[in-house]
Structure 1
């Protein structure tokens, strides 16, 4: 035997004890927790329990929950697969918004975090600058840029959250049971046509409709 302690367990939790804790390991455990049980379940005590250590040990790597969340936001932004810069405003905005949306779909809790706790990452600033430049190159003045920028982000946030659920029309239908075709013919037809439609295609099409307006 070599004396390795990789399978040692915490005497208090019975869970595997980490031989060496690091910021990366703390972040990995935090991402695993929010992806499986949601953002409200992420507490320093629960995270310490997941890692087989005590809460005070975590404070050697992160200063607190807000610091942990900011680091998670930084990593989320860093993992966005951003496209090369395009001089065509529509192509530039389409590429950027699609990349952001893809990352948000993987971790929709990020949208909730930004909206409810007011946290943000400075690493998103290059994306913001590129979006504003694209709108400026499209001929928008400052007021139009501000309005269009807000509209694009609101759509991206909302779609990222909604895409992890059934969608508003489907929730309406689920709450009503069988749709009375005679009373709600348009709704019934829409739901019938939506069967098998991929949400990704809905996002892409609606994004272009949005850009038709703001550009």
Structure 2
């Protein structure tokens, strides 16, 4: 009688595996569809097995946020403070673009997670290591706002999905005459190569616009630092 082949060893379940599986599931289906039961099924375990590693879905979401934050690359050793901050922010942007649901989950957390606090502390630390005062750093963080995570609310909403593709780019003639300065900006945007996935608007390059504004902010912060600026005037 041939010896029986033992069943393959199951990969032990641990918190790290649970969180990474949850991130992968959210990437495929969106975080709204995420459930403890569905995650357990994806991992091939009973739902109760998950509760040894995460107490509930809220704790699961907190952990998923920290997984995403953990993908943000550290700055190069000895980098100038402006390069260090810029690099961290652009790495955060790449991480959140890989996981489009992540920014909404981050905003939904009732309190910042350890990973979020650690990232913010490191950005503040880069400013302070560059010699910026606590006062200027405080206002710099306010100026950066959500841009520190690589995403922003844009001024101009994207056109509706059902917009007529045959219509000329820019504003219709009557609106262009009424709002000539907006029309001139719309014409510039329409003349640029079109980024079909842009959230900024037709013809705009999201990455270019993001880096353009980020560099304006960092250059301005650097100028104020050199001038010895304080909020006290």
Structure with larger Rg? 2
- TM-score with structure 2 length normalisation? 0.69
Distance 1:161 1:104, change over 3 A: farther
Indicate the residue corresponding to 2:213 in structure 1: 206
CA distance in 1 between counterparts of 2:152 and 2:39 reads 25
Contact 1:105 1:161 in 2 (8 A): no
SS in 1 for 2:147: helix
CA distance in 2 between counterparts of 1:168 and 1:64 reads 37
CA distance in 2 between counterparts of 1:37 and 1:161 reads 24
Indicate the residue corresponding to 2:17 in structure 1: 25
SS in 1 for 2:72: coil
Indicate the residue corresponding to 2:95 in structure 1: 103
CA distance in 2 between counterparts of 1:96 and 1:28 reads 22
Contact 1:132 1:145 in 2 (8 A): yes
Question: Which stretches in structure 1 are left out of the alignment for 5+ residues?
Answer: 7-17
Q: CA deviation at 1:68?
A: 1.8
Indicate the residue corresponding to 2:120 in structure 1: 128
- TM-score with structure 1 length normalisation? 0.73
Q: CA deviation at 1:122?
A: 2.0
Q: CA deviation at 1:40?
A: 1.6
Contact 1:82 1:96 in 2 (8 A): yes
Distance 1:53 1:80, change over 3 A: same
Aligned residues: 199
1:160 and 2:151 correspond: yes
Indicate the residue corresponding to 2:61 in structure 1: 69
User: What are the equivalent positions in structure 2 for 1:32-43 lying under 5 Å apart?
Assistant: 32-43=24-35
User: What are the equivalent positions in structure 2 for 1:46-57 lying under 5 Å apart?
Assistant: 46-57=38-49
Structure 1, 104-113 or 129-138: larger mean CA deviation = 129-138
Q: CA deviation at 1:87?
A: 5.5
Distance 1:77 1:126, change over 3 A: same
Tell me how large the CA RMSD over aligned residues is.
Answer: 3.1
Indicate the residue corresponding to 2:72 in structure 1: 80
CA distance in 1 between counterparts of 2:17 and 2:118 reads 27
